[in-house]
Amino acid sequence: MTESSNERILMVGAGAVGQAYGYHLHQGGADVAFLVKEKYREETEAGFVLHRHRMFRRPDTFGFADFDVYTDYDEVEKVEWDQVWLCMSSTALRGEWLEDLCGRLGDATLVSLQPGIADVHRVEEVYDPTKVVFGLITLIAYGAPLPGEALPEGVAYFLPPLTPIPFSGRPERAARVAHALARGGCRATVDPKTPQLAAFGAATMNPAIAGLEVAGWSLERFRKTPALEIATAAAKEALQVVGMYHFAKVPLSARTLRRPEILGPGLALAPPLMPFDLEVYLEYHFTKVGDQTRQILADYIALGEAQGNPTRALRVLRRLLEPSEE
């Protein structure tokens, strides 16, 4: 692989995350393309409207249309791709389609952004692990406008300051992925512990999101009801599962956030710091990916039971979500 400022990069999926990262890869000089289902071809070919949120300023709105669109794996196979980014939820990663696609990618670096504890092995089962790079999503992206938000239709995203996206994998491949993104104005770094960081982050966040859903998506109710205690107890169990799975010590930050006396006040402080309505975003986004939250909790339970670790709080939290599925 040679150094190039115009690498060919395929984004699998054109949702909010794929659009935001695809734009910055394009800004860095990459030739970007999107692989979407046939029913989304016309919509994707029309281009995207993006809104980049900025702290204490109005969002910056711009268009993004300088890319190719593919809907057929045979056509994808004809191109020599440098990188292929998987931009979908953990649950969407399952299925025979991934193996079919991976068999057509040649020497491309496959970039996986999924947060589930089992996602690493799922990807490495169907693609050469030496060609896989794992990344931890650090941006917030969603379909705009949120309810009550005064933005034109499009995708809005926010790159939190001081939080570069970390990538891990073979050093030369991870470095090329990080460099391609950083060239386009999105901070990125190489960190060999990215899968562990992602797993510990998900083990902290997903129980909290589930608890928030149980509380009706109200941050205030979440802080003042048993949902907070249940969610932090479930996070403690999930972190223990992840620690044993990765043979790694739970980070101090994760051990701190699993305490209700820390998480509760932290949630109260977060909304004023966001350039959008955080509570509305959480409900909007995590309702859309609710199947992913449930699948990740189920994975913790299954793995924890196999390890002989406690999963009582995780099972309680998972059952509390069931009424919303009826």
DSSP letters along 119-144, please?
Answer: HHHHHHHHS-GGGEEEE---SEEEEE
Q: In 3-state terms, what secondary structure has residue 26?
A: helix
Judgement on whether residues 238 and 161 belong to the same structural domain of the protein:
no
The Cα–Cα gap between 81 and 110 comes to 10
CATH number at residue 129: 3.40.50.720
- Residue 164 within any structural domain of the chain: yes
Judgement on whether residues 41 and 167 belong to the same structural domain of the protein:
yes
Is the Cα dihedral 241, 246, 248, 250 positive or negative?
negative
Judgement on whether residues 56 and 174 belong to the same structural domain of the protein:
yes
- Residue 107 within any structural domain of the chain: yes
- Residue 236 within any structural domain of the chain: yes
Judgement on whether residues 171 and 52 belong to the same structural domain of the protein:
yes
Number of domains forming the structure of the chain: 2
- Residue 218 within any structural domain of the chain: yes
The Cα–Cα gap between 112 and 128 comes to 13
Domain boundary among 174, 191, 208: 191
- Residue 157 within any structural domain of the chain: yes
- Residue 2 within any structural domain of the chain: no
Judgement on whether residues 258 and 297 belong to the same structural domain of the protein:
yes
Judgement on whether residues 22 and 162 belong to the same structural domain of the protein:
yes
The Cα–Cα gap between 241 and 203 comes to 9
Domain boundaries, position 250 = 196-325
Q: What was the pLDDT predicted at 6? A: 82
Which ranges of the chain have pLDDT less than 50?
1-4, 324-326
Structure-token pair, residue 92: 């969407």
Judgement on whether residues 213 and 183 belong to the same structural domain of the protein:
no
- Residue 20 within any structural domain of the chain: yes
Domain boundary among 191, 218, 233: 191
Judgement on whether residues 143 and 276 belong to the same structural domain of the protein:
no
Beta strands in the chain (DSSP E): 8-12, 31-35, 48-54, 57-64, 68-70, 83-86, 109-112, 132-135, 140-144, 154-158, 165-168, 188-190
195-244 confidence digits (pLDDT tens): 999 999 999 999 999 999 999 999 999 999 999 999 999 999 999 999 99
Judgement on whether residues 56 and 151 belong to the same structural domain of the protein:
yes
> CB of 122 within 8 A of CB of 113?
no
- Residue 217 within any structural domain of the chain: yes
Judgement on whether residues 118 and 228 belong to the same structural domain of the protein:
no
Q: Which residue has the tokens 């996070």?
A: 235
Domain boundary among 191, 209, 232: 191
Q: What was the pLDDT predicted at 210? A: 96
Judgement on whether residues 116 and 212 belong to the same structural domain of the protein:
no
Judgement on whether residues 105 and 250 belong to the same structural domain of the protein:
no
> CB of 318 within 8 A of CB of 301?
yes
284-301 confidence digits (pLDDT tens): 999 999 999 999 999 999
The Cα–Cα gap between 318 and 206 comes to 11
